Structure 1
Amino acid sequence: MAKTHYIPITADVPGVSGKENCALIRRVIRTALEAEGMALPCEVDVLLTGDSGIQAINREMRNVDAATDVLSFPEFELKPGELPGPEVADPATGLIPLGDMAISMEHVAAQARDYNHPKRRELAYLVTHSVLHLLGYDHLDEGPQKARMRAREEAILGKLGIER
């Protein structure tokens, strides 16, 4: 039997880690990894938190004392299209540890209202965005990097049937 991706999801705020959220998050991560050609079994750790939780993480890890929607902490320094190989897999689990993501569910709700789309769509977008960061994508410029990342996000959301 082939190993699959391991995607543990924890929450430090009550009521946000319902079955629907967890199923969606896992489906989005698996779809994004497949779309990017990552067939080897990986681990991606997900934390669902609130604005105060993500602000504390942002302050501690990035010296930015502000809440945000999503934070990504890649295990590897990759370039878009570059994938880690089996040699970096954890010997105990056989999984490649891609990294961690933290999502503010308060930001999910607020941005869904602001953009006038369902929370499900906003959550899927932020998870896709974070997976791409774990795989080396960035949007530091307002030009080609951002455009390439946005195109990949929309392609992945399209595969999931999640439109704007």
Structure 2
Amino acid sequence: MDITFVDETNGLTKDKIRDIEDLLQFAAKHLELVEPIEMSVTFMDNATIQEINRDYRGKDAPTDVISFALEETGEGEVPVVFEAGDNPFPRELGDLMISVERAKEQAEEYGHSFERELGFLALHGFLHINGYDHMTPEDEKEMFTLQKEILDAYGLKR
């Protein structure tokens, strides 16, 4: 899977970004995603994610992670569908935006490491761009069980 990383905060080390990439690659294998696949992850501050949250979700407050799944069709959009094996392009999963500030705040609040919280948020957003959600109790149970299973298997336990 090809992942483009952008650190707008300039505060994450290459090792921390590589850890997130390793986790997402592990999750892609766990979900048995078929290559070629592309996605992006942008790390930002609370002010920037608040602006995105306000403009795209109508919520004028900072949040921890926002995911934009490119395979979801919005109102009035027509999906682009290729026959099996005929798609000449990589599958574009979408984009994740993660507030590094919020991740640090939540790590302290929940009593675990910043690395664990950053990994949790990246995986949570990754599951969203792969069609998982938590809008109903059944969907929440499925997504959160899978999330815990992947984090535990990868070794990012609480």
Q: Secondary structure of the equivalent of 2:2? A: coil
In the alignment, structure 1 segments of 5+ residues that lack a partner are: 79-83
Matching residue of 2:6:
10
What displacement does 1:87 show? 4.6
What displacement does 1:86 show? 5.2
What are the within-5 Å matches in structure 2 for residues 82-161 of structure 1?
A: 87-88=86-87, 91=88, 94-141=89-136, 143-161=137-155
In the alignment, structure 2 segments of 5+ residues that lack a partner are: 74-81
What displacement does 1:14 show? 2.8
Spell out, residue by residue over 1:131-151, the C-alpha distance to the aligned partner (whole angstroms, 9 max, x if none): 10001110113x111111110
Q: 1:57 to 1:35 in 2, by over 3 A?
A: same
1:62 is aligned, of 26, 34, 57, to 57
Q: TM-score, normalised by structure 2?
A: 0.88
What displacement does 1:32 show? 1.2
Q: Secondary structure of the equivalent of 2:26? A: helix
Matching residue of 2:77:
none
Q: 1:97 to 1:86 in 2, by over 3 A?
A: farther
Percent pairwise identity: 33
Let me know the Cα RMSD of the aligned residues: 1.8
Matching residue of 1:53:
48
Matching residue of 1:162:
156
Contact 1:58 1:64 in 2 (8 A): yes
Partners of 1:133 and 1:87 in 2: how far apart? 26
Matching residue of 1:81:
none
